Amino acid sequence: MRVKAETMRNALIDPKTASIFVVTIPEKAAVEESRRLIETVESHGVHVASIIINHVMRECDCQFCQRKMASQTSYIQDLRSRYSDKRVAILPDYGAEVKGECLQQVAQDLYGEGQMELWTPGQ
């Protein structure tokens, strides 16, 4: 059991074989939880390559949406400045649970828009 755990740990700390993508939303509690997660994971030598910020509001004229967008923008800027060494990708709020065909849109938004690069272990 100890050998398996050591083998797994070695695989996780080698950025050629593993990388963590943290997914969060642009709200205070989630950003703080993500910050703690990144600190903890990296303190164990595991590489966090990217942060994906999910459920970001699209442009809208109503006051509620504008206030929410301003708040979200603040958290997005904080994450980008705090983790300038990591790729930060933005995904909009799709208005419904992401499943089925909507997953293709997520892939397009991440990879087709150039926010993320396809990664294969060993590269």
- If you average pLDDT over each of 43-47, 81-85, 96-100, 111-115, which comes out highest? 81-85
How do 87-92 and 20-24 pair as beta strands?
Answer: unpaired
In a domain, 66, yes or no: yes
Cα–Cα distance, 76 to 83 (Å, whole number) = 11
Q: Which pLDDT belongs to residue 118?
A: 61
Question: Cα(82)–Cα(99) distance, rounded to whole angstroms?
Answer: 31
Domain tally, the chain: 1
Residue predicted with more confidence, 118 or 104: 104
Q: Is 87 among the domain residues?
A: yes
Buried b / exposed e over 9-46, threshold 16 CB at 10 Å, is eeebeeeeeeebebebbbeeebbeebbeebeeeeeeeb
Question: Tokens for 62?
Answer: 């109503």
Range of the domain at 71: 17-112
Tell me, what CATH number does 55's domain have?
3.40.50.300
Mean pLDDT across 57-86: 93
Task: Identify whether 90 is part of a domain.
Answer: yes
User: What is the C-alpha to C-alpha distance for residues 51 and 95, in angstroms, rounded to an integer?
Assistant: 21
* pLDDT, tens digit (0-9, with 9 covering 90-100), for 12-54: 888 888 888 999 999 999 999 999 999 999 999 998 999 999 9
Q: Is residue 119 part of a domain?
A: no
In a domain, 122, yes or no: no
